[in-house]
A and B are shown apart, each in its own frame.
Chain A
């Protein structure tokens, strides 16, 4: 009787050990997002990246993708929920998740967190971002070449450094082609509201711009552009299908390679906290196909892309002056990453005041 019991216990514990070993092999990965996975913009970019991880690692990972989590304290609960459900690698994909991520990370030291577009790190929290400004420089150059009126419209959400950096880079690119290029900027105070973005596009066009770009997530502005026979650029996602006659190119978020690399690091045990900021070179930023433009413009754009990729050119290379005329960077000087991440001033040539 005792012998049977011991054999049974041994078998049971063996089974349990094997079972848990198998369970441990599957890495549970979680994503917290501010929007829906098919928003055609920012969150969809992360969804595509998550799908890339799923394809690459197959059975070794189990991914949970939570959508529509509001920034703020509800986020903390959602992130903690993921941690408690056994997810060991959690991506929080919006700036507003920064404080909640740090708070939950403190409670779960063995879970790895990756926070997009933030600036607070911890031993188990990495921040990551993409050098979208590289793409903005290129489209700024295209805009200056394609605009007949020399004025572009810029639809933006909130005056955070990410956005300001983008505006400045766009303007610098445009000014490299046309030093008198002008910009009209409209703040819609939302990342995504098709009706409002459409209104903003209409207002800008009505005020005389003939080309628009945006740092908001819907395809509405491009659709308005197409309706009016004018041009624009896609944001976060190739928006060509929504507006084939209007899109010149798009700045595409390509998180796949980064996500795969980080997942591999966790699986290998080599994951370390860092602040990563990849760009065109690493493939995290991609440019959409160059359409609706003459061949020489497309060729020049491709050339600039190559220069940035190789490191030969950096969009924020001096001389750069701010609105007051002060020289911020000397000729040949490159703006350090830290400055870019906290940028809250406009370059010379932009007439609007930055909302304070």
Chain B
């Protein structure tokens, strides 16, 4: 009984991470490193909350959040892909802008009660003991996250579009020589990343809690970045990683409630330490984990004319 309850909370804690990370995974697979995930997420959270509060409808909020994330991503894309600005600096600027702007936008909404995305209920299935609520009783965004992960995996490895995207990320010069528009592919990937980050943010303010508070993402965007690397850019591993990263936070609270004496900071540092370990493993030996960093990650591309 308690195990089921804990699993439920782990799933909800992992969902915003999974949503933001799957978007960033696609962007990074195309060769773009967008450090602005935190900024896009928080804008998604505030716009989602604002739209939902003003319309009284959670779905409107979710759409608003997606649009907000995409708008931020478009700004990033324009600077890094059209004006060829440095990706790292632009991503940081995006985070800065997002955090500040969201605070301004969210001012009138702080402390107000919000609209909640309701969990679904299927008459017999949800009542199944042990796994009922886990599988059939979550709110819609959890299912969206899972569906997205599966869809992205299928897209990347089973469609031509995904092949092109991966090619752009691994060798943009060759992809360009073959006639593919590197800028367009990357722009679309970045927009997708923004949409997902916005959705992840909306989850925080519309489902996880029904509140808006400044900085409420609390670094989850950065965790999502770590998560993408931890998963060695494979969606299937991303889902597991999200559960692990989400679990760390939850289990740490349970450990306290049980009276165990492990320092919480130690537990909290595990996701980052393991991410570094994974990075080392995959870059040192390509065959070891059957994956590697997209070769052109973070590099700007301008075709020579």
Contacts and interface: CB of A to CB of B under 8 A. Distances in A.
Given A193-B218, A203-B9, A218-B213, A39 B110 contact: yes
Contact of B211 (A204, A205, A207, A219): A219
A39 B213 contact: yes
Contacts of A200: 253
A192 B212 CA distance: 12
Nearest to B3: A206
Given A195-B218, A220-B209, A206 B249 contact: no
A187 B256 contact: yes
B6 interface: yes
Contact of B250 (A40, A192, A203): A203
A199 B253 contact: yes
A136 B277 CA distance: 47
Task: Select the residue from A185, A192, A195, A205 with max chain B CB neighbours within 10 A.
Answer: A195
B216 A195 contact: yes
B184 interface: no
A36 B254 contact: no
A199 B210 contact: no
B264 A194 contact: no
B113 A194 contact: no
B216 A40 contact: no
B259 A351 contact: yes
Interface size classification for chain A:
35 or more
A40 B218 CA distance: 19
Interface in B192-230: 204, 208-211, 213-214, 216, 218
Contacts of B112: 38
Contacts of B218: 193, 195-196
Contacts of A196: 218, 249
B257 A185 contact: yes
Contact of B257 (A36, A153, A189, A195): A153
A206 B2 contact: yes
A59 interface: no
Given A189-B264, A206-B2, A198 B209 contact: yes
A223 B209 contact: yes
Contacts of B13: 199
16 contacts: A39-B111, A153-B257, A184-B257, A186-B257, A195-B204, A195-B216, A199-B250, A200-B253, A202-B5, A205-B5, A207-B2, A218-B211, A219-B113, A219-B211, A223-B209, A353-B261
Given A200-B253, A206-B9, A219-B113, 13 more contacts: A36-B107, A38-B111, A40-B111, A188-B253, A192-B213, A194-B213, A195-B216, A196-B218, A199-B13, A203-B6, A205-B5, A206-B5, A223-B209
Interface of B: 2, 5-6, 9, 13, 107, 110-113, 204, 208-211, 213-214, 216, 218, 249-250, 253-254, 256-259, 261, 264
**Which 4 A/B pairs are nearest by Cβ-Cβ distance?**
A206-B5, A38-B111, A40-B111, A194-B209
Interface of A: 36, 38-40, 44, 68, 153, 184-189, 192-196, 198-200, 202-208, 218-220, 223, 241-242, 351-353
